[in-house]
């Protein structure tokens, strides 16, 4: 585990170190690094990164999730916080489709990504995914822009839950932010329908 005090000018050194550790199974850091540094770590099972909010956006600015396609042992990829799922749900959806064996994305809203997958794959068979730990909801306690997004989110919330229940049937642990009074009843209805299916 590398501390938050790890200097930005040493990021390249961190990336070289990761590249020289192809047997790495767990990576727990608190600084940005290019995802391409992981491409040879085929035994990697867990990636956690406790980034500051202003650094999180850098992950997919210049990189594609396809960089991680050969990490077929990866089970947990937690580099996001719930507050940015609205900005990066397409990347999260791409990650789920690239790495369907993932069991956890940490505290990022996978329901938004599920809704996107359903919306863009209407004429294809949509695969179900292996997530066992999920976070569904939207944290609006950050800034005005995110609160505006929350209005759009709550209007579609039932559809988001419906998509997530259908695509993630193996969930064992669910953290959910309740946005309106009927959402838990809706969740119950959807999970019952999914179980019968």
Segment 13-72, tens digit of pLDDT: 889 999 999 999 999 988 888 888 999 999 999 999 876 655 555 666 656 678 889 999
Q: How far apart are CA 186 and CA 84, in angstroms?
A: 25
CA distances from 186 to 152, 154, 181 (A): 18, 13, 10
Write out pLDDT tens, residues 156-165.
Answer: 777 888 888 8
CA distances from 43 to 3, 27, 47, 71, 126 (A): 23, 11, 11, 7, 27
Percent of the chain at pLDDT exceeding 70: 62
Q: Is the pLDDT of residue 126 over 50?
A: yes
CA nearest 89: which of 47, 144, 152, 39?
A: 152
| 99-113, 120-134, 174-188: segment of lowest average pLDDT | 174-188
Quick check: pTM over 0.85?
no
What mean pLDDT value characterizes the chain?
77
| Greater pLDDT, 28 or 85 | 28
């Amino acid at each position: 585990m590398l501390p938050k005090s790890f200097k930005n000018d040493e990021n390249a050194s961190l990336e070289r170190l990761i590249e020289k550790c192809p047997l790495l199974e767990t990576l727990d850091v608190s600084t940005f690094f290019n995802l391409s540094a992981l491409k040879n770590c085929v035994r990697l099972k867990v990636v956690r990164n406790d980034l500051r909010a202003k650094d999180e956006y850098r992950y997919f600015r210049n990189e594609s999730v396809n960089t991680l396609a050969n990490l077929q042992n990866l089970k947990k990829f937690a580099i996001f916080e719930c507050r940015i799922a609205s900005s990066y749900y397409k990347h999260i959806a791409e990650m789920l489709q690239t790495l369907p064996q993932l069991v956890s994305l940490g505290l990022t809203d996978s329901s938004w990504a599920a809704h996107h997958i359903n919306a863009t794959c209407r004429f294809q068979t949509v695969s179900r995914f292996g997530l066992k730990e999920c976070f569904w909801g939207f944290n609006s306690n950050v800034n005005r822009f995110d609160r505006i997004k929350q209005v759009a989110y709550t209007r579609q919330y039932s559809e988001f839950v419906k998509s997530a229940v259908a695509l993630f049937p193996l969930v064992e642990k669910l953290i959910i932010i309740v946005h309106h009074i009927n959402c838990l009843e809706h969740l119950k209805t959807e999970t019952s329908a999914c179980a019968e299916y």
